[in-house]
């Protein structure tokens, strides 16, 4: 549904993105991640026909975002980071205006408004002035306008920015439900949110896509060791050095308290949990909990971005 091939954009002599290539299949929900200034917003603006690329091409459902921009706009629902709402209008009147601008047939406008109001949970505020609504409800209004005319593709740029935890959970639930019937590209700084909603993530850094896969596959590719976390109770003075001497153990981190927490980093090629459990019991220490822990999406993101930032800069061309 979404195809970007060799997208490059220069602002004067400064490149915002370079050779960005990716695809988002029908029905996929894909997270688009990157630090500030990485090129996310530039890419989204090209996909939503706000501006053309300097080089490369972008297509939505086979339609070119530059040459067939009107067709593309009909197929895309866009929620920008800063939602442009008319604060003096009631919710329904604003949605009626947006429906007309989006080309919804006159006979379908009222039924379409009822549909998006229901989907976005706006029934209780449908007749209220937008400027009087909370940030969470204004965000829902922005999402509702993106859903008008039921576009097959949704591009959501920071849909939960500035919301409180309760509002974030509500918007996240709405997006998860929308993912059942739409192709969604979701840009967000809230990485746990992306991990819960998205089937796949793309990470962009310094204008280039540096990683793309499911969180679990990225973990498998990037995780250099396994991590086993223990919660134990008792005298661990002998346990910690014994674990450190165990074949396959690379490091043991120890956090003391009323109960001791141990983090054991091991060779990924072996599952040492049975041996570790036996050692804990044999040394007379109570084993309260043991679990394997994979890299979180935050850790994947930081590892990819840090590795990219630490790469040596290319040598300057001779003048």
What percentage of the chain exceeds 70 in pLDDT? Answer: 95
| The predicted structure's pLDDT at residue 257 | 66
Residue 170 to residues 50, 123, 137, 159, 268, Cα–Cα distance (Å): 29, 15, 10, 11, 38
Residues 6+ apart with CB under 8 A from 225: 250, 265, 266, 267, 268
Same domain, 138 and 281: no
Same domain, 206 and 248: no
| The predicted structure's pLDDT at residue 307 | 63
Same domain, 85 and 197: yes
Range scoring the smallest mean pLDDT among 23-37, 238-252, 298-312: 298-312
Q: Which residue has the higher pLDDT, 23 or 167?
A: 23
The answer to whether residue 199 is domain-embedded is: yes
Same domain, 244 and 203: no
Same domain, 230 and 201: no
Same domain, 236 and 164: no
Same domain, 83 and 43: yes
| C-alpha 177, offset from chain centre | 16
The answer to whether residue 301 is domain-embedded is: no
Span 279-314, pLDDT tens digits: 999 999 999 999 988 777 777 777 778 765 655 444
The answer to whether residue 118 is domain-embedded is: yes
Same domain, 175 and 39: yes
> Residue 28 is part of which domain span?
2-220
| The predicted structure's pLDDT at residue 304 | 79
Q: In the numeric block, which tokens belong to residue 259?
A: 């109960």
The answer to whether residue 305 is domain-embedded is: no
Same domain, 146 and 243: no
Reduced to 3 states (helix: H, G, I; strand: E, B; else coil), residue 26 is coil
Span 84-141, pLDDT tens digits: 899 999 999 999 999 999 889 999 999 999 999 998 889 999 999 999 998 889 989 9
Span 191-206, pLDDT tens digits: 877 888 888 999 999 9
The domain spanning residue 289 has which CATH number?
3.30.70.1340
Same domain, 34 and 7: yes
The answer to whether residue 261 is domain-embedded is: yes
Distance, CA of 299 to CA of 8 (rounded, Å):
28
Same domain, 237 and 212: no
The answer to whether residue 79 is domain-embedded is: yes
Domain boundary among 202, 220, 238: 220
The answer to whether residue 317 is domain-embedded is: no
Nearest to 93 by CA among 107, 108, 113: 113
Domain boundary among 173, 204, 220: 220
Number of domains in the chain: 2
Domain boundary among 220, 240, 269: 220
The answer to whether residue 285 is domain-embedded is: yes
The domain spanning residue 34 has which CATH number?
3.40.50.300
Same domain, 90 and 212: yes
| The predicted structure's pLDDT at residue 124 | 93
| The predicted structure's pLDDT at residue 29 | 93
Span 250-280, pLDDT tens digits: 889 888 766 788 999 888 778 889 999 999 9
Mean confidence (pLDDT) of the chain: 87
Distance, CA of 88 to CA of 79 (rounded, Å):
20
Phi-psi region of 62 (alpha: psi -120 to 50; beta: other; left: phi over 0): left
Whether the per-residue pLDDT at 319 is higher than 60: the answer is no
């Amino acid at each position: 549904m979404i195809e970007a091939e060799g997208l490059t954009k220069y602002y004067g002599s400064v490149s915002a993105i370079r050779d960005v290539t990716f695809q988002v299949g029908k029905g996929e929900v894909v997270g688009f991640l990157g630090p500030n200034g990485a090129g996310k917003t530039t890419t989204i603006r090209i996909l939503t026909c706000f501006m053309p690329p300097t080089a490369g091409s972008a297509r939505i459902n086979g339609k070119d975002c530059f040459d067939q921009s009107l067709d593309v706009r009909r197929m895309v629902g866009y929620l920008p980071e800063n939602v442009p709402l008319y604060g003096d209008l009631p919710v329904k009147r604003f949605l009626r205006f947006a429906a007309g601008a989006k080309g919804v047939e006159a006979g379908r406008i009222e039924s379409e408004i009822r549909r998006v109001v229901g989907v976005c949970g706006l029934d209780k505020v449908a007749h209220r002035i937008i400027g009087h609504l909370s940030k969470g409800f204004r965000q829902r209004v922005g999402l509702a306008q993106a859903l008008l005319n039921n576009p097959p593709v949704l591009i959501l740029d920071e849909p939960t920015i500035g919301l409180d935890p309760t509002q974030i959970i509500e918007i996240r639930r709405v997006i998860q439900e929308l993912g059942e019937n739409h192709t969604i590209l979701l840009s967000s700084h809230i990485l746990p949110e992306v991990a819960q909603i998205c089937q796949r993530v793309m990470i962009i850094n310094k204008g280039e896509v540096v990683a793309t896969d499911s969180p679990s596959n990225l973990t498998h590719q990037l995780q250099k060791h396994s991590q086993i976390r223990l919660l134990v109770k008792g005298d661990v003075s002998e346990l910690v050095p014994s674990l450190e001497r165990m074949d396959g153990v690379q490091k043991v981190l120890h956090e003391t308290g009323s109960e001791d927490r141990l983090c054991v980093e091991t060779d990924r090629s072996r599952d040492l949990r049975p041996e570790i459990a036996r050692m804990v019991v044999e040394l007379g220490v109570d084993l309260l909990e043991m679990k394997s822990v994979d890299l979180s999406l935050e850790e994947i993101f930081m590892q990819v971005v840090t590795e990219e930032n630490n790469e040596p800069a290319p040598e300057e061309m001779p003048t």
